[in-house]
């Protein structure tokens, strides 16, 4: 057998899985090409009794529709919502309302601005992820939105400067998967159809759509990496019963996402048993018949390639009548399954064309937003217990554009995304950052800025505040201050990728304040990675907090941490390097002016901390890192087999359900460890489980738990390890393979602080 090229070796991660039968590297399925998978599977609701019942009702209704009515249901229409499906009034089928964003209803009044996905991931808290999803679902439901466009695991965060990384749930498939599953469950238990996006490989914004320069970029990836990294988190969403998925803009292995039959027919609807419907990203459909046959079920926003064209295609046999029936059945089955036929609020979305009395859907969600805001704040430096403030901390000086709110953030409320970057030379300082830009951005009813919250605390304590929000070198330096707080941020948005992970003005601001203040505390609100080596080792920089994108209660969440009402427990969901160059080829988007631009995922499975581990690069702050106001001890490590089947491959006689083969979710081993709070204040530790899977990256996250502990308290944490957690994707068998080998297992406080270790063996 021919020795594989370095490219394919990377793609297969030097797997020992047999590739017999392939004499040429181009035959190894598959890299840079997307195999055709036809016909599109007909959904049947076999995933559960509830799905099966919904399908029976949907099919009965579809049998009463004309071809024209069916095609009308599969195309978007203009209307009150961001997206609106067709309706059939004679059969009481309403138009379904689709709306952004994954962190709150965009462009609306009396709605909440929740923390962004990346901030929720920073909590590493499963229960908060669910509560977040449920609260979002309640607001969507009360506004009459049938389909909420979220949660997000695409982008996963392959590129450090990716413009939309902040919408997702961290740069690890396991962490993102837990978030996807919990948020999906929360949204749908509130009576709203969740929409997992973007399927798949939408990792950068540069040339995501075709235009004057040519086609959209092609994300070229090998089969194993596609499964183990990029499809992995979507599986959790599918297992929790998600009812819709959004296909992505760019090409994947040279086929556009919304007409890629391998991704939709092959992986999503066959391999992973998806019974719901696939909706296009807005204007992401680039062909009519091809997208229909590849598995697209409804097009947004206006269905230019469908409508009458789809009717003609069905009548002339280019698209089968069965395929059209399946499209409509999937949409209506999701509607029935969610119970929206039993009485659902009419859309109450405000727009310039449809003004009405606003509907208040905020409930008591501000409390949850504040809690998540604090839980996702990551303390990364705290010299000599600078934080929390004590009763004697009464004189504070506040510096930086990020401390206060923008003077006029509402220039375009329908597309409001914060817009709080500092772009010197053409715009002014824009205030504190609590969300990112573009369709994923939230629209706040108000914003509690850090400065407002500090004023509240200072007035309560009869203290003193001094401030300068806009100077690069603030004067005078208030040498009598107990502490100087410097607020900076790092903005990102849909439609473009970041050009830097730092900025000169903000770095100079920190250094200038630190030069005159011996107790300088830096707070960074960022849409992702923000490097800090320009000043992190300055002796007067005593504490540093990554404040993330915390939503409308930003200041209150931060004050809770600063004053010790909440002990910080946030952990980084990505790796912060010492130098931007440490990210190597995973720093920038691929800028190409070719007519057919290419981006090759030649790093395979090695992104973020996996890449740093492989190259033995020491990061500034590793994935999973974060400090606390107390200390913890790890002990009593144990691994126990559950006795479930450990055959190399799953039982082929068992039917696939939504989320994949049922045996993938069987727990094969349980790892336990004891965590003790050895300090004198209560706090939560985020215990993390990493596994060294043979023929794979040296460490992969495979479990975590946020554990609240009072001073001196000990709790035992149990980490279940499923078949999927311990398997690799066999590119020849086209199945998940469990290797009969010894696996090293680690438990600790980050990807590099590993307190306990042991092994498990699969015979």
The per-residue pLDDT for range 185-216, each reduced to its tens digit, is: 999 999 999 999 999 999 999 999 999 999 99
pLDDT at 427 over 50: no
Name the token pair of 315.
Answer: 């009548």
In sequence order, what are the residues at sequence separation of 6 or more whose Cβ sits closer than 8 angstroms to the Cβ of residue 211?
Answer: none
Percent of the chain residues past pLDDT 90, beyond the cut: 88
Q: Are residues 232 and 308 in the same domain?
A: yes
Q: Are residues 269 and 402 in the same domain?
A: no
593 is a domain residue: no
The one catalytic residue among 172, 222, 223, 281: 281
Helix (H, G, I), strand (E, B) or coil at 760: strand
21 is a domain residue: no
Please give the average per-residue pLDDT across 746-758, as a whole number. Answer: 98
Q: Are residues 381 and 323 in the same domain?
A: no
Please give the residue that has the higher pLDDT: either 683 or 425: 683
pTM score > 0.85 for this model?
A: yes
Q: Are 272 and 242 in contact (CB under 8 A)?
A: no
Q: Are residues 333 and 369 in the same domain?
A: no
Q: How far is CA 665 from CA 17, 386, 643, in A?
A: 22, 45, 14
DSSP string covering 30-99: -BS------SPPPP--TT-HHHHHHHHHHHHHHTT--HHHHHHHTBEE-SSSSEEE--BGGGTBPPPEEE
Q: Give the pLDDT band (50/70/90) at residue 8.
A: very low
pLDDT for residue 236: 98
Q: Are residues 71 and 128 in the same domain?
A: yes
Q: Give the pLDDT band (50/70/90) at residue 4.
A: very low
Mean predicted lDDT score pLDDT of the chain? 92
Q: Are residues 294 and 429 in the same domain?
A: no
Q: Are residues 321 and 421 in the same domain?
A: no
686 is a domain residue: yes
Please give the residue that has the higher pLDDT: either 256 or 409: 256
12 is a domain residue: no
CATH code of the domain covering residue 673: 2.60.40.10
Please give the average per-residue pLDDT across 501-527, as a whole number. Answer: 96
Q: Are residues 721 and 668 in the same domain?
A: yes
332 is a domain residue: yes
CATH code of the domain covering residue 561: 3.40.50.1700
- Containing domain of residue 656, as a range? 630-762
Kindly report which listed range (302-311, 385-394, 559-568) carries the lowest average pLDDT score. 302-311
Q: Are residues 331 and 375 in the same domain?
A: no
Catalytic status, residue 302 = no
Report pLDDT digits (tens) over 72-126: 999 999 999 999 999 999 999 999 999 999 999 998 999 999 999 999 999 999 9
595 is a domain residue: no
Pick the closest to residue 485 from 389, 398, 403 (CA basis).
398
CATH code of the domain covering residue 252: 3.20.20.300
589 is a domain residue: no
d(CA 230, CA 268): 12
d(CA 576, CA 583): 9
620 is a domain residue: no
Q: Are residues 235 and 112 in the same domain?
A: yes
**The total number of structural domains that make up the chain:** 3
Please give the average per-residue pLDDT across 510-538, as a whole number. Answer: 97
| 203 CB-side CA count, 13 A | 27
DSSP alpha helix (H) spans, 444-579: 450-461, 504-514, 554-562
Q: Are residues 438 and 495 in the same domain?
A: yes
Q: Are 409 and 431 in contact (CB under 8 A)?
A: yes
Q: Give the pLDDT band (50/70/90) at residue 421.
A: very low
Q: Are residues 540 and 643 in the same domain?
A: no
DSSP string covering 477-498: --TT-SEEEEEEEE--BTTB--
């Amino acid at each position: 057998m021919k020795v594989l090229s370095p490219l394919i070796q990377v793609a297969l991660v030097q797997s020992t899985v047999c590739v017999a039968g392939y004499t040429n590297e181009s035959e190894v399925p598959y890299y840079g090409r997307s195999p055709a998978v036809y016909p599109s599977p007909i959904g049947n609701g076999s995933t559960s009794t509830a799905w099966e019942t919904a399908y029976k009702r949907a099919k009965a209704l579809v049998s009463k529709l004309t071809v024209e009515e069916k095609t009308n249901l599969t195309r978007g229409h203009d209307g009150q919502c961001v997206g609106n499906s067709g309706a059939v009034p004679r059969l009481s089928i309403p138009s379904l309302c689709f709306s952004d964003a994954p962190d709150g209803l965009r462009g609306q009044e009396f709605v909440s601005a929740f923390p962004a996905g990346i901030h929720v991931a920073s909590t590493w808290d499963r229960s908060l992820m669910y509560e977040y999803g449920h609260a979002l679902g309640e607001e969507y439901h009360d506004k009459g939105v049938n389909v909420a466009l979220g949660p997000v695991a695409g982008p996963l965060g392959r590129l450090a400067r990716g413009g939309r990384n902040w919408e997702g749930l961290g740069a690890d498939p396991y962490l993102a998967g837990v978030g996807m599953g919990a948020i999906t469950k929360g949204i749908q238990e509130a009576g709203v159809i969740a929409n997992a996006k973007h399927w798949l490989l939408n990792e950068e914004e540069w040339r995501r759509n075709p235009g004057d320069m040519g086609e959209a970029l092609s994300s070229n990836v090998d089969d194993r990496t596609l499964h183990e990294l990029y499809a992995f988190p979507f599986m959790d969403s599918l297992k929790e019963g998600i009812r819709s998925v959004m296909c992505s803009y760019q090409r994947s292995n040279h086929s556009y996402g919304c007409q890629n039959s391998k991704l939709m027919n092959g992986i999503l609807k066959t391999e992973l048993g998806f019974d719901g419907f696939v909706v296009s990203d807005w204007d992401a459909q680039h062909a009519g018949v091809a997208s229909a046959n590849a598995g697209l079920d409804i097009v947004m926003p206006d269905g230019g390639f469908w409508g009458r064209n789809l009717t003609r295609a069905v009548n002339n046999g280019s698209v089968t009548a069965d395929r059209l029936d399946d499209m409509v059945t999937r949409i209506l089955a999701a509607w029935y399954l969610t119970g929206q036929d039993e009485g659902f609020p009419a859309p109450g979305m405000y727009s310039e064309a449809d003004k009405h009395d606003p509907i208040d859907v905020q409930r008591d969600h501000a409390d949850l937003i504040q809690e998540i805001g604090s839980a996702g704040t990551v303390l990364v430096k705290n010299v000599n217990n600078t934080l929390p403030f004590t009763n004697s901390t009464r004189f504070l000086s506040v510096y930086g554009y990020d401390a206060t709110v923008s003077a006029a953030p509402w220039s375009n409320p329908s597309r409001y995304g914060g817009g709080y970057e500092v772009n010197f030379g053409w715009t002014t300082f824009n205030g504190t950052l609590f969300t990112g830009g573009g369709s994923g951005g939230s629209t706040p009813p108000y914003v509690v800025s850090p400065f407002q919250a500090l004023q509240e605390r200072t007035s309560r304590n009869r203290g003193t505040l001094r401030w300068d929000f806009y100077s690069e070198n603030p004067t005078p330096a208030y040498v009598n201050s107990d502490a100087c707080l410097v607020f900076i941020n790092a903005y990102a948005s849909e439609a473009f990728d970041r050009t830097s992970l730092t900025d000169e003005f903000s770095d100079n601001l920190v250094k200038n304040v630190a030069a005159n203040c011996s107790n300088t505390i830096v707070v960074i609100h960022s849409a992702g990675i923000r490097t800090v080596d320009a000043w992190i080792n300055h002796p007067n920089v005593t504490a540093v907090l990554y404040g993330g994108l915390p939503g409308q209660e930003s200041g209150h969440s931060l004050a809770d941490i600063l004053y010790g009402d909440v002990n910080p427990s946030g952990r980084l969901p990505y790796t912060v390097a010492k130098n931007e160059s440490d990210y190597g080829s995973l720093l920038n988007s691929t800028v190409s002016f070719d007519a057919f631009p290419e981006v090759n995922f030649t790093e395979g499975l090695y992104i973020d901390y996996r890449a740093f581990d492989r190259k033995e690069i020491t990061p500034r702050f590793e994935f999973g890192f974060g400090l606390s106001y107390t200390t913890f001890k790890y002990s009593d490590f144990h691994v126990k087999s559950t006795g479930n089947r450990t055959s190399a491959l799953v039982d082929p006689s068992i039917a696939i359900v939504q989320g994949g083969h049922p045996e993938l979710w069987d727990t094969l081993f349980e790892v336990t460890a004891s965590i003790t709070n050895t300090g004198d204040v209560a706090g939560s530790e985020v215990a993390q489980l990493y596994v060294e899977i043979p023929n794979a990256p040296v460490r992969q996250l495979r479990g975590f738990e946020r554990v609240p502990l009072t001073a001196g308290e000990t709790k035992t944490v149990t980490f279940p390890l499923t078949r999927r957690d311990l398997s690799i994707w066999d590119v020849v068998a086209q199945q998940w393979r469990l290797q009969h080998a010894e696996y090293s297992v680690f438990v600790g406080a980050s990807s590099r602080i590993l307190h306990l270790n042991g092994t498990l063996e699969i015979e």
